[in-house]
Amino acid sequence: MVSIKDVAKLANVSVTVVSKALNGYTDVNEQTRQKVMKAAEELKYSPNMLAKNLKQKVAKSIALIFSNFERADGKDGVLVQIMSGVFEAANKHKYEVVIYTRSLSEQQDKSYWKFCKEHKISGAIITGLKTTDPYFQEIIDSDLPCVVIDTMLSGANTGSISTDNVLAAQQAVEHFIDKGHRNIGMMNGHEFAVVSKQRLEGYQKALELHGIPYDDRLVINADFSETKAYEMTEGFLQEYPHMTGVFMSSDLMAIGFMRRCHELGVQIPDQISVMGFDDIVLSSYMMPKLSTVRQDFHEISFTAFEQVIDILENKQKGTHIFVPFKIVDRDTIKVLQSP
Amino acid sequence: MVSIKDVAKLANVSVTVVSKALNGYTDVNEQTRQKVMKAAEELKYSPNMLAKNLKQKVAKSIALIFSNFERADGKDGVLVQIMSGVFEAANKHKYEVVIYTRSLSEQQDKSYWKFCKEHKISGAIITGLKTTDPYFQEIIDSDLPCVVIDTMLSGANTGSISTDNVLAAQQAVEHFIDKGHRNIGMMNGHEFAVVSKQRLEGYQKALELHGIPYDDRLVINADFSETKAYEMTEGFLQEYPHMTGVFMSSDLMAIGFMRRCHELGVQIPDQISVMGFDDIVLSSYMMPKLSTVRQDFHEISFTAFEQVIDILENKQKGTHIFVPFKIVDRDTIKVLQSP
DNA sequence: AAAAATATCGAAATCGTTTTCGATTTAATT
DNA sequence: AATTAAATCGAAAACGATTTCGATATTTTT
């Protein structure tokens, strides 16, 4: 393998000069710089990042951590969108990204923190972190700059980012209300996600704002799972036949719900309206097309990256950031009466 | 940061002994090993991988290269499936994986090869490589063990892996023929993918085997693009109204085709049958559900990983591997007559 | 008891860089 | 011409691990 020594030899200078020439130092004569460049070119030299990062004590790379990778069956395209956002930002800031996946099914010997430490990683972006995660506190307490997606926390080195879930949920059910609905159910995700609490709060808020009494029997928990939603819809529908619409905490659940409705012969949106959350790719391909609130995952992860850079390079404190969402009304909400 | 020196000091031994104790060498007394372990534990020591890999000249990590990342809009879930396969294999073999994405839209300063070299990466898995890619030859000639997905080549250090595209395509159109179809069109992908050529070959083979003359006007090129397929279907349908079915080189194109048919009021499968290729997640959610040939991308990437390990650790020569596919008949093929 | 074999340890070299700081040369200033 | 300043270079010390090889202590063999 060709090292800096080899190019030094060929260019007839010291390794110091080679290093300086290649890294834009000013105390090297332009002619010798050319000489060095030519030698490096000739030998097809490329620096050993391991040595480089070792010396500099830190690698210019940030970790993208998927803490629930087993759920990533590709149905929602969000994982890809998240990747796309961080890769774009990484490219912009000249960082590298290393992905660390963790699935709960397999025992994990290593915590994120240990992983990042071992690799001298500068910062991290974390997704899919449950509040019950054993490493939750570790992350927050650590001195590693990191921002976690879809939660709310802030510390010296930790920030977070998400869409404004309570506002989004509120607007979503207000959308129902605007179309004349008064009996609106909700299918929520599991309680270990902070987004579940927030969306429920938004749901309640909208109801309260429009003088509709809150009935906790109308909100059930389907664990963010398509099949669980599928299984629960029949009972849900039978038990509360006066519901005219249901707000789902995720598109995946909405799809499970719709599929079961289709089998049961209940027409959407004629007999029951539904609104999802996320706007995954499947949603616009459904028949009928699913109305939902669109989260901009690309923007979320891009901004997440920029925040870790901010606290890394600009010594900013961690904070929480909201990124804009959008209600997208397609074909699954029936208008009962004009507003 | 706590280094090996610190634990040596605490354990009251030399760094040599610490290193040996922690790496399972036999020439260290069991008691001192315990002592070292305890000290390491106490200090929360974790080795600096950069230094470790630097010394060992090579990192135990393989690169997963997406050479056309901009296409990864998450519509097909294949990217995720591929990731899932290699992460699983990596976990099994105790390797780490680093992902390198390249999009053609942004100028790329660095070739895969350079990237891998700089990071002392042991091997690589490459996807989305076009034959026209400027780095194509570089990869093949390099001494870096790598296997590229969806192509056919083999060398000392390079292998490849894919489904048997010609056989799969052949069986797909034979499936048409079995159902009584004789006038079968094809919508192929761009010519820079070897899979296009192979699937066309399978198409031709099936026709020939059943005495159906090949008409090259019945196969058009929609570039693997959903919208392009969408745009071309009306003309295609009008020009060759005698077609009873069309074999698509990808599900995404099939979906574009179906969407246009829906708008045009042509019934699927009553007026025209369609068969896709890939079995992406969207396919089973279509109405009607798309019949297609299923590629097992998880298996493909998993096996790809194992092959690079094979040529890396077992000094095997690179080769081409086929992984099984499956014709999955859903609701988009009409039976014209019993076989 | 002497010799040989074994067990256990540590000093030091090494991996490929970066970076400090002093040395030397050249140019600018007085 | 003497002094000062600027430009350019290189020796050497890190970074944090691994690994070779010799040293010492202990045990076994003769």
Question: Is residue A127 assigned to a domain?
Answer: yes
Distance in Å, residue B52 CA to nucleotide D10 C1': 28
Spatial separation of the C-alpha atoms in residues A204 and A213, rounded to whole Å: 9
The band of B278, judged by pLDDT with boundaries at 50, 70 and 90, is: very high
B52 Cβ within 7 A of any nucleic strand D atom: yes
A64 and A98 co-located in one domain: yes
Q: Are B255 and B290 in contact (CB under 8 A)?
A: yes
Most A CBs within 10 Å, among B119, B120, B278, to test the A interface: B119
The residue whose two tokens read 């019949």 is B291
Q: Tell me what the mean pLDDT of segment B83-107 comes to.
A: 87
A155 and A264 co-located in one domain: no
- Rounded to the nearest angstrom, the minimum Cα separation between B116 and chain A is 10
Count A/B contacts: CB-CB distance under 8 Å.
101
Residue A339 confidence (pLDDT) above 60: no
| Residue of A143, A140, A144, A108 lying closest to A124 (CA atoms) | A144
Spatial separation of the C-alpha atoms in residues A47 and A223, rounded to whole Å: 49
Which chain B residues are within 8 Å of A282, Cβ to Cβ? 281-282, 285
Question: Is residue A82 assigned to a domain?
Answer: yes
Q: Are A207 and A169 in contact (CB under 8 A)?
A: no
B289 and B203 co-located in one domain: yes
B158 and B183 co-located in one domain: no
The CATH number covering residue B24 comes to 1.10.260.40
A280 and A174 co-located in one domain: yes
Nearest nucleotide from residue A49 CA, by C1' atom: C17
The band of B74, judged by pLDDT with boundaries at 50, 70 and 90, is: confident
The CATH number covering residue B284 comes to 3.40.50.2300
Distance in Å, residue B135 CA to nucleotide D17 C1': 35
Question: Is residue A23 assigned to a domain?
Answer: yes
Q: Tell me what the mean pLDDT of segment A298-316 comes to.
A: 95
A189 and A309 co-located in one domain: no
* Interface contact B281-A101, CB threshold 8 A: no
Average pLDDT of chain B? 93
Question: Is residue B43 assigned to a domain?
Answer: yes
Question: Is residue A336 assigned to a domain?
Answer: no
* Interface contact B47-A281, CB threshold 8 A: no
Over residues B169-188, the pLDDT tens digits come to 999 999 999 999 999 999 99
B231 and B282 co-located in one domain: yes
Spatial separation of the C-alpha atoms in residues A204 and B151, rounded to whole Å: 55
Which chain B residues are within 8 Å of A57, Cβ to Cβ? 1
Nearest nucleotide from residue A6 CA, by C1' atom: C16
Domain tally, chain A = 3
* Interface contact B281-A57, CB threshold 8 A: no
Question: Is residue A53 assigned to a domain?
Answer: no
Q: Are B266 and B272 in contact (CB under 8 A)?
A: yes
**Least confident interval from A28-42, A97-111, A257-271:** A97-111
Token pair for residue A310?
Answer: 């901010």
Provide the domain limits for residue A276: 165-295
Sign, CA dihedral A284-A286-A287-A289, equals negative
Question: In the prediction, which pLDDT does B108 show?
Answer: 61
B32 and B65 co-located in one domain: no
Nearest nucleotide from residue A29 CA, by C1' atom: D8
Say which of A74, A91, A285 has its CB closest to residue B81: A74
A185 and A289 co-located in one domain: yes
A32 Cβ within 7 A of any nucleic strand D atom: yes
Over residues A178-224, the pLDDT tens digits come to 999 999 999 999 998 999 999 999 999 999 999 999 999 999 999 99
Say which of B54, B79, B91 has its CB closest to residue A50: B54
Nearest nucleotide from residue A36 CA, by C1' atom: D9
| Residue of B150, B60, B67 lying closest to B113 (CA atoms) | B67
Question: In the prediction, which pLDDT does A97 show?
Answer: 93
Say which of A48, A99, A119 has its CB closest to residue B99: A99
- Please state, in angstroms and as integers, the Cα–Cα distance from residue A191 to each residue in A102, A181, A195, B8, B204, following that order: 21, 26, 9, 46, 55
DSSP state of B116: H
B281 Cβ within 7 A of any nucleic strand D atom: no
**Least confident interval from A67-71, A82-86, B326-330:** A67-71
The residue whose two tokens read 């719709």 is A258
Among chain A residues, the shortest Cα distance to B92 is held by: A106
Say which of A51, A53, A117 has its CB closest to residue B46: A117
Residue A110 confidence (pLDDT) above 80: no
User: Where do runs of H (alpha helix) occur along B125-211?
Assistant: 136-141, 165-178, 194-209
Of B154 and B202, more confident: B202
A221 and A275 co-located in one domain: yes
Question: In the prediction, which pLDDT does B142 show?
Answer: 85
- Please state, in angstroms and as integers, the Cα–Cα distance from residue A319 to each residue in A33, A147, A158, A306, A311, following that order: 44, 9, 7, 12, 10
Spatial separation of the C-alpha atoms in residues A119 and B98, rounded to whole Å: 12
Q: Tell me what the mean pLDDT of segment B2-13 comes to.
A: 96
Distance in Å, residue B215 CA to nucleotide D23 C1': 84
Question: In the prediction, which pLDDT does A175 show?
Answer: 97
Strand D: which residues 35-64 of A lie within 7 A (CB)? 51, 54-55, 57
Over residues B209-262, the pLDDT tens digits come to 999 999 999 999 999 999 999 999 999 999 999 999 999 999 999 999 999 999
Over residues A113-126, the pLDDT tens digits come to 888 999 999 999 99
Residue B265: burial class (beta carbons within 10 Å; 0-12, 13-18, 19+): exposed
* Interface contact B73-A47, CB threshold 8 A: no
A236 and A267 co-located in one domain: yes
* Interface contact B281-A282, CB threshold 8 A: yes
A232 and A196 co-located in one domain: yes
Distance in Å, residue B29 CA to nucleotide D29 C1': 23
Among chain A residues, the shortest Cα distance to B298 is held by: A73
Residue A103 confidence (pLDDT) above 90: no
Question: Is residue A52 assigned to a domain?
Answer: no
* Interface contact A81-B99, CB threshold 8 A: no
Question: Is residue B54 assigned to a domain?
Answer: no
Residue A105 confidence (pLDDT) above 70: no
Extract the runs of DSSP E, i.e. beta strands, from chain B.
59-66, 96-101, 121-127, 146-149, 158-163, 184-188, 219-221, 245-248, 273-278, 291-295, 320-323, 325-328
